[in-house]
Amino acid sequence: MPETDPLTWARDHTPVLESLREEFGESQPLSGYTVAFASHLEAKTGVAIETLHAAGAEVLFAPSEPQSTHGDVVDALEAHDGITAFAWEGMTDAEFDEAQHDLLEHEPDFILDDGCELIAKVHADHPEVAANVIGGGEQTTAGITRLEAMDEEGVLAFPVYGVNDTPMKHFFDNVHGTGESALTNVAITTNSLVSGRDVVVCGYGYCGRGIARKARGMGAQTIVTEADPRKALEAHMDGHRVMDMDEAAEAGELFITATGNRDVIRERHFERMPDGAVICNAGHFDVEIEVGALEALAEKTTTPKEGITRYHLPDGRELNLLAEGRLVNLTGPYSQGHPAEVMDTTFAMMFTAAYDMLADGTDLDPGLYTVPDRLDRAVASRKLDTLGLSTEGLTDRQQAYYEEWEHPDSSF
Amino acid sequence: MPETDPLTWARDHTPVLESLREEFGESQPLSGYTVAFASHLEAKTGVAIETLHAAGAEVLFAPSEPQSTHGDVVDALEAHDGITAFAWEGMTDAEFDEAQHDLLEHEPDFILDDGCELIAKVHADHPEVAANVIGGGEQTTAGITRLEAMDEEGVLAFPVYGVNDTPMKHFFDNVHGTGESALTNVAITTNSLVSGRDVVVCGYGYCGRGIARKARGMGAQTIVTEADPRKALEAHMDGHRVMDMDEAAEAGELFITATGNRDVIRERHFERMPDGAVICNAGHFDVEIEVGALEALAEKTTTPKEGITRYHLPDGRELNLLAEGRLVNLTGPYSQGHPAEVMDTTFAMMFTAAYDMLADGTDLDPGLYTVPDRLDRAVASRKLDTLGLSTEGLTDRQQAYYEEWEHPDSSF
Amino acid sequence: MPETDPLTWARDHTPVLESLREEFGESQPLSGYTVAFASHLEAKTGVAIETLHAAGAEVLFAPSEPQSTHGDVVDALEAHDGITAFAWEGMTDAEFDEAQHDLLEHEPDFILDDGCELIAKVHADHPEVAANVIGGGEQTTAGITRLEAMDEEGVLAFPVYGVNDTPMKHFFDNVHGTGESALTNVAITTNSLVSGRDVVVCGYGYCGRGIARKARGMGAQTIVTEADPRKALEAHMDGHRVMDMDEAAEAGELFITATGNRDVIRERHFERMPDGAVICNAGHFDVEIEVGALEALAEKTTTPKEGITRYHLPDGRELNLLAEGRLVNLTGPYSQGHPAEVMDTTFAMMFTAAYDMLADGTDLDPGLYTVPDRLDRAVASRKLDTLGLSTEGLTDRQQAYYEEWEHPDSSF
Amino acid sequence: MPETDPLTWARDHTPVLESLREEFGESQPLSGYTVAFASHLEAKTGVAIETLHAAGAEVLFAPSEPQSTHGDVVDALEAHDGITAFAWEGMTDAEFDEAQHDLLEHEPDFILDDGCELIAKVHADHPEVAANVIGGGEQTTAGITRLEAMDEEGVLAFPVYGVNDTPMKHFFDNVHGTGESALTNVAITTNSLVSGRDVVVCGYGYCGRGIARKARGMGAQTIVTEADPRKALEAHMDGHRVMDMDEAAEAGELFITATGNRDVIRERHFERMPDGAVICNAGHFDVEIEVGALEALAEKTTTPKEGITRYHLPDGRELNLLAEGRLVNLTGPYSQGHPAEVMDTTFAMMFTAAYDMLADGTDLDPGLYTVPDRLDRAVASRKLDTLGLSTEGLTDRQQAYYEEWEHPDSSF
């Protein structure tokens, strides 16, 4: 009965992965390699794992976040020979940590990571495993930040593609995937409108601008906070009000963090927020909102609706935190994870990163690398094909025009 | 423990109803009257019922749709003396019908209706009850359409306010409430993006334009079908592509009906749709999409994801119907119902309709009436107050300017 | 040489008028009637006058605003027998007034008006002419306001269609025509960006919402002031910040009035505006901005750029008034008048109003009338045809569904 | 009389340049250097030249486009000792070329260029001058393309900052400046609406996406053509329809090129366009539209409205070319040039490029350089200050979070 396969719907909506399975299902170019895969474990991730396996790899997988694992997906994947789970639904934080270490002890040849959890741990705690890893890929901004620091310190033991830093990833996953799913999950969880609301978006990177643009597109009055003066100006020109966080705390009703940093909303801001404010995180770790400070301020907490923790402050104000400060679009009660189309391109890029180093002969020194343009373009072309969209290349005269500088036949 | 009261969150987000309870909680102006209330039975409806009760009314309530009743809300309301439920979670269509008749046998003085179900039934099957009803209110476009037909036939036995036909209702409930919640529920149920999608909105009334505008605001390529040439032109000028349904069936990926009519998407359209199309209804009854014709075309159906029925056609195409063709924003698996803010103004208008005829001395002949401007304005002013927004009235000279026509001190 | 005909471009962009000339050019249904036409006198108006003439009417025309007449258009029209001008470029206010009286002394049978100038004057000063007028049409909101007052006082001597109050007029002319041309003219005249600017739109009627929506669509931070609480709420839900005028005066950089009333921006607001503020009017008469009060406050005025008057206030602030407070989209230095497409539908409606009473047998008592739906629909259908857009009517079952109320085959 | 100074309005709207004059007016850091400046010569450019001069430089200026020079600005600048014009209103193409050579013979120390005209000519024809140039800056995408080719060939004789390639330039000048002014000038020149129109934007670089986004924000149905598959996908996700140019030629009504390349619209496309199509260029040189091919196709040309050339094709179709295929936003009949605010940041960046190499000790080998982040940030901070917008830097803990990778106090 096809309807009981938890991967069916995701398979239908990941045409780029489908085209990879079709191309590599016979030639099995990843045969002989063990690939570790960490991500939020739901149906789309399952299809990515299936695709690596279809191309010949032995796959070990673990969650990147303990709360977001779907048990039925884990079960469906484990049914395959050559796929091993280090994950189950309802893991504690301790179990999550331990499972990652277990996975690493199985000595993967390649690590496809989410948040740099596996890569940080293999370097910190399993140096002998790290020494034999051929390469890796990382799909989040926050993970890249950690990898940059590792690269700067010179501690990376193998080459890693920063998959997050490709145009394809930014446009699809961050701007559109996080942008839409953050708003959708907030709207469903709070049963409230986005239109007419004073929405504060903290951070104007790719995620933040997606959230802010779409909130504005729905009819919100948007406010952006941003530490970088250039991004702040860009937000201003895009029609958002720019404030510092103290001002924004007073002016906002709904607060969404998307910075990749910590303590973006902290005690001084909770003190300024209006009664009834809704606060959530669409960045990465649960450190963007200083939940501990909010707990310290509150007299008690209640649960007015599933997925919402209400902090009752001594002055009578009630502040509402969604998904405990974890990623609202991935861990909220109604979350289906990122939209399938965006994960399709992100996972295709992750696959391509592995294929490039393992099967296509690319040999790199240890370090953090941006994904070469040729790989990004290849995924873009696959995606365009699946959409049936037409572009046309440059004519010879146009190509020549880019390459010359005298412009001899320009009319002046 | 406040968190276990299923009405807490809704109460927090319905400030207009709160201000009515505050104003009328002591004077009890509805004391001595029995008010029937039909609506989708969830937390916001609960607060509306509570508000009528707080103002002194005996309240009888029934669902307007058999699938959307929340049992915990029914339980919380039934705990009050003077509130009687004709509803439970999981009613069959037959039970739903029977409960409405039971309710009507309790001889309400006033009927606040949703879809004209109670009002049509009291006239058709309980004429002796209808004869003693003082008045009614109706909150949906589809219900008004039925009331207009009844009024034209001269069969209405009492006066009814068409609450749906007020600026407040259209702007809040239809444009913003249905507009946002339809898209949110589609996005969550299908786990797909709205951006970049060819979204066909059938109908460009208040609901349709809300859906189309917000889909466009999220980044969709919108297509509108509309039978009225003026609305079709308006859609065109608002940046949507206008097509007839045959063309749209071929061009679309996601189809959302919002017409208040039947068979909007029917056999000839299913035959033209691309493989993988997603179809849903945000209008009113489950007749907008001709589900029977789709069933007749299909070889089998499966359930690829909760809330989605997949029709496998003999030519290999798979069409996906959400929420069985019922209202996707109210009956889908993740639905929280309309956003609380919009129900706040709609229910405040329904309350005001009852208050006006029962307690404020308005005496009308049988027939369908538009809600008087003074009532709509009163609710608008209450809502503005709760938002803390400032407007200022006209100066005397400005008021005079509207009233004169010679414009003696205009400069030419 | 076709390029020297000042009406060529306008003719190309008014396809609905073209279809009227084609249909009525031979039958000459307006033959024997004299039609007075007042409007801003530029190329599109010329084509409207030409169209009335082509259908057989004798046409008398005068400007509705003394500053906006294009001499070449007047010359081109006067070349026709049967068209008489009461207009020239560079009229003074006194000449403008006198010319209107001259025109009225020629005893028109029908008056197509803009701002109710001719209709008010014929009643006030030429009652014997008014007594023989068959009917009229009025195309502006401000004109309708004056007509409503006249109708209420019972002084109207003939029937007048309020052409402004049709869906076609509102959607095309007010929302899109004024909305775009006001912004375009401000941007060109001030050589400044709309994006990133705090734009205050005074009034949220059809013109105001067009301006506000499009300013927001360009990237502005919009603020709306509005005396009507319902429109204020609508603006809020559409994503604009709502303020009273005192607050807005402090928060804004660019101010655009669109209320149809007087003194919308007055002394108390000038006193609060920031240095460099730009102020303009897109409503109707030059009374929306209290220019006299601004002059009284200023120490001197200069002209920093064509079309801009700068008021130097004693406290050092400089306020910039565009187009002397007259309509910025019609009288500014770069103005081309309303976009041709919107005038096409507006003038087609004006033509239809005249045709209906003069040639199609509609006989009405004196008073102000809304344009019958059948006329508005006819113009909408003509326009749709010129756009090549497809709509389809209701099926018989759908038509029946609207007319019945028992819904016997609804599934519940 | 201040109103007769053609630079007054531009000075008021270039607060960043004002802050540079204030900071460097006394210290005169550019004293002793001759700076060549090529750009469209209107008021804003005048203020930039004035600012270089105020900081001590001797300035030589020439136009970057022969058609766009404002004579009054040239006169006002020439009144200063130490500023020399190689420009006058109404230059022919030959005079334009000659004036650039004249300028170069005056041996500038630094060249601030627009389109790489001066820099290409100094290398091609004045190698001995080039040998002594200290450095340069280039402000357009098209110019950078030529510089990249020169750099690759190894022919550059001095270091050049690619000022175009900074976030500040892209966001302000390309996206917002070209985006808005292209649409504004098309709307005024054609007296037509953007809403409801099928607008084809050729190229989805910074200019193209600004035009497309704002056209969509006004209510257009946008179509994007783009050779790069990634940009094509981005356009698709942003809600534009993506087509190849053959398809777009048939579907569009208004065509705007913004590619920086040649022959984007050529014979095969003219052959497919509908009657009445409007075609214009907002890219760089007048080679984007193959005007020669259009001329060859046409039987005759007329001028239906100022700024519009109409090509009458043998099959009866009429195609309308704006501004002769030159930059519609800069050379159209109503053009005021780029909005002042965007030129303020662009010119501030050009100033900063000169200041950095001439006065701040930066010493670079010949070649093309991206503007260092520190310079871009400095301009961004100046701009934020002039807007009165608040941002706040990272806290120490946040700064540390970016720099560490173990995240020891993350909660999991």
Domain CATH code at residue D245? 3.40.50.720
Of D247, D261, D389, the CB nearest to A236: D389
pLDDT at D322 over 80: yes
Please report which helix (H) or strand (E) contains residue A302, including its range. Answer: strand A300-305
One domain for residues A296 and A343: no
CA distances from B285 to A275, B182, B210, B340 (A): 39, 15, 19, 22
How many Cα atoms sit within 13 Å of C143 on the Cβ side?
27
Please tell me if residue A91 touches chain D, with a CB cutoff of 8 Å: no
Which residues in C lie closer than 8 A to residue B121 (C-beta atoms)? none
Which residue type is seen at A15?
Answer: P
One domain for residues A82 and A179: no
Of A218, A305, A342, the CB nearest to B180: A218
Structural domain boundaries enclosing B186: 175-331
pLDDT tens digit sequence for C138-177? 998 889 989 999 999 999 999 999 998 788 877 888 899 9
Which residues in C lie closer than 8 A to residue D337 (C-beta atoms)? 191
Please tell me if residue A215 touches chain C, with a CB cutoff of 8 Å: no
Please tell me if residue A237 touches chain C, with a CB cutoff of 8 Å: yes
> How far is residue C334 CA from its own chain's centroid?
18
- Residue D274 phi, psi dihedral angles, 5° rounding: -75, 155
Q: Contact at 8 Å (CB) between A282 and A256? A: yes
pLDDT of residue D102: 97
**Backbone dihedral region for residue A263 (phi beyond 0: left; psi -120 to 50: alpha; all else: beta):** left
Q: Contact at 8 Å (CB) between C166 and C189? A: no
Cα–Cα distance, A282 to A260 (Å, whole number): 9
Cα–Cα distance, D119 to D210 (Å, whole number): 28
Q: What is the mean pLDDT of chain C?
A: 92
Instruction: Copy the structure tokens of residue D91.
Output: 């230059």
Crossing angle of the two packed helices B15-24 and B340-358, in degrees rounded to 10: 30
Percent of chain D having pLDDT more than 90? 78
Size of interface B-C (CB pairs under 8 A): 190
Q: Contact at 8 Å (CB) between A278 and A322? A: yes
Nearest Cα neighbor of A49 from A88, A23, A79 is A79
Question: SS3 of D129, please?
Answer: helix
One domain for residues B152 and B122: yes
Cβ of B237 and C176 within 8 Å?
yes
Of D196, D239, D241, the CB nearest to B216: D239
Please tell me if residue B376 touches chain C, with a CB cutoff of 8 Å: yes
Q: Is C226 annotated as a binding residue?
A: yes
pLDDT tens digit sequence for D268-305? 999 999 999 999 999 877 889 999 999 999 999 999 99
Q: Contact at 8 Å (CB) between D135 and D364? A: yes
Which residues in B lie closer than 8 A to residue D195 (C-beta atoms)? 237-239
Model confidence band, residue A396 (pLDDT cutoffs 50, 70, 90): confident
> How far is residue C239 CA from its own chain's centroid?
26
Instruction: Copy the structure tokens of residue D366.
Output: 């010949």
Annotated binding site of D for NAD(+): 205-210, 226, 282-284, 329, 338
Please say whether the dihedral angle defined by the alpha carbons of residues D247, D250, D253 and D255, taken in this order, is positive or negative. Answer: positive
Nearest Cα neighbor of B17 from B56, B58, B40, B46 is B46
One domain for residues D152 and D205: no
Cα–Cα distance, C177 to C179 (Å, whole number): 5
pLDDT tens digit sequence for A328-350? 998 888 888 788 998 999 999 99
Which residue type is seen at D32?
Answer: G
One domain for residues B179 and B163: no
C-beta pairs of B125-134 under 8 Å, 24+ apart in sequence: B125/B101, B126/B101, B127/B157, B129/B104, B129/B105, B130/B157, B130/B158, B131/B157, B132/B107, B133/B108, B133/B109, B133/B157, B133/B158, B134/B33, B134/B109, B134/B110, B134/B158, B134/B357, B134/B358
Of D145, D175, D405, the CB nearest to A146: D405
pLDDT tens digit sequence for D72-129? 999 999 999 999 999 999 999 999 999 999 999 999 999 999 999 999 999 999 999 9
Question: SS3 of A405, please?
Answer: coil
One domain for residues C361 and C228: no
pLDDT of residue D396: 87
Nearest Cα neighbor of C189 from C281, C302, C307 is C307
Q: Contact at 8 Å (CB) between C56 and C78? A: no
Residue where one domain finishes, among candidates C331, C362, C377: C331
Nearest Cα neighbor of D260 from D376, D147, D134, D344 is D147
Partner A, chain B 170-209, Cβ-Cβ below 8 Å: 176-177, 179-181, 184-185, 187-188, 190-196
B74-91 mean pLDDT: 95
One domain for residues C78 and C46: yes
Cα–Cα distance, B155 to B158 (Å, whole number): 9
Please report which helix (H) or strand (E) contains residue A83, including its range. Answer: strand A83-85
Please report which helix (H) or strand (E) contains residue A189, including its range. Answer: helix A179-190
Please tell me if residue B224 touches chain A, with a CB cutoff of 8 Å: no
pLDDT at B356 over 70: yes
Which residues in C lie closer than 8 A to residue D180 (C-beta atoms)? 187, 193-195, 218
Cα–Cα distance, A160 to D155 (Å, whole number): 36
Residues 6+ apart with CB under 8 A from D1: C302
Cβ of C397 and B147 within 8 Å?
no
Which residues in C lie closer than 8 A to residue B225 (C-beta atoms)? 391-392
Residue where one domain finishes, among candidates B284, B305, B331: B331
Instruction: Copy the structure tokens of residue C63.
Output: 């400007």
pLDDT of residue B2: 43
How many Cα atoms sit within 13 Å of C196 on the Cβ side?
23
Residues 6+ apart with CB under 8 A from C373: none
In the block, tokens 């065109």 appear at B236
Cα–Cα distance, B216 to B239 (Å, whole number): 9
C249 Cα to chain B: minimum distance (Å): 13
One domain for residues C64 and C160: yes
Cα–Cα distance, B358 to B134 (Å, whole number): 8
Q: What is the mean pLDDT of chain D?
A: 92
Instruction: Copy the structure tokens of residue C261.
Output: 């009333």
One domain for residues A54 and A134: yes
pLDDT at B403 over 60: yes
Q: Taking the model in full, what pTM does it have? A: 0.90
Burial of B341 (0-12, 13-18, 19+ CB in 10 A): buried
Q: How far apart are the first and last CA of chain A?
A: 70
- Residue C250 phi, psi dihedral angles, 5° rounding: -80, -30
Q: Kindly state whether residue D412 falls inside one of the protein's structural domains.
A: no
Cα–Cα distance, A383 to D26 (Å, whole number): 58
One domain for residues D216 and D150: no
Scanning every residue of chain A, which has its alpha carbon at the shortest distance from the alpha carbon of D386?
Answer: A233
**Backbone dihedral region for residue B95 (phi beyond 0: left; psi -120 to 50: alpha; all else: beta):** alpha
Q: Kindly state whether residue C406 falls inside one of the protein's structural domains.
A: no
- Structural domain total, chain C: 2
Strands A254-257 and A308-312, by their bridges, are unpaired
Neighbour subunits, A (≥3 Cβ pairs < 8 A): B, C, D
B85-110 mean pLDDT: 95
Q: Kindly state whether residue C308 falls inside one of the protein's structural domains.
A: yes
Q: Is B324 annotated as a binding residue?
A: no
Nearest Cα neighbor of B76 from B12, B142, B10, B31 is B10
Adjacent-strand bridge partners of C311: C301, C319
Which residue type is seen at A300?
Answer: K
Which residues in A lie closer than 8 A to residue C193 (C-beta atoms)? 237
One domain for residues D96 and D226: no
Find the Cα–Cα–Cα–Cα dihedral D294, D295, D300, D302, rounded to 10°: 80
Residues 6+ apart with CB under 8 A from C214: C179, C180, C183, D195, D217, D218, D219
Nearest Cα neighbor of D157 from D86, D85, D108 is D108
Cβ of B337 and A1 within 8 Å?
no
Please tell me if residue B116 touches chain C, with a CB cutoff of 8 Å: yes
CA distances from D125 to A411, D105, D247 (A): 18, 10, 43
Annotated binding site of D: 205-210, 226, 282-284, 329, 338
Crossing angle of the two packed helices D117-125 and D93-105, in degrees rounded to 10: 70
Q: Kindly state whether residue A88 falls inside one of the protein's structural domains.
A: yes
Model confidence band, residue A411 (pLDDT cutoffs 50, 70, 90): very low
pLDDT at B333 over 90: no
Which CATH number is D115's domain given?
Answer: 3.40.50.1480
Please tell me if residue D143 touches chain C, with a CB cutoff of 8 Å: no
Q: Contact at 8 Å (CB) between D308 and D301? A: no
One domain for residues D118 and D18: yes
pLDDT tens digit sequence for A189-246? 999 999 999 999 999 999 999 999 999 999 999 999 999 999 999 999 999 999 999 9
Cα–Cα distance, D210 to D216 (Å, whole number): 10
Greatest mean pLDDT among A65-69, B184-188, B260-264 lies in B184-188
Residue where one domain finishes, among candidates D331, D346, D372: D331
Which residue type is seen at C125?
Answer: D
Q: Kindly state whether residue D409 falls inside one of the protein's structural domains.
A: no
Of A398-412, B182-196, C330-344, give the lowest mean pLDDT range: A398-412
Q: Is C234 annotated as a binding residue?
A: no
Cα–Cα distance, C346 to C176 (Å, whole number): 12
Q: Kindly state whether residue B400 falls inside one of the protein's structural domains.
A: no
Q: Kindly state whether residue C80 falls inside one of the protein's structural domains.
A: yes
Adjacent-strand bridge partners of A277: none
Partner D, chain A 36-65, Cβ-Cβ below 8 Å: none
pLDDT at C408 over 60: no
Q: Contact at 8 Å (CB) between C171 and C147? A: no
Strands D278-281 and D318-322, by their bridges, are parallel
C289 Cα to chain A: minimum distance (Å): 27
Scanning every residue of chain A, which has its alpha carbon at the shortest distance from the alpha carbon of D91?
Answer: A412
DSSP code for C174: I
Scanning every residue of chain D, which has its alpha carbon at the shortest distance from the alpha carbon of B223?
Answer: D221
Q: Is C240 annotated as a binding residue?
A: no
Which residue type is seen at D203?
Answer: G
Burial of A285 (0-12, 13-18, 19+ CB in 10 A): buried
Q: Is A280 annotated as a binding residue?
A: no
Q: Kindly state whether residue A396 falls inside one of the protein's structural domains.
A: no
A302-315 mean pLDDT: 96
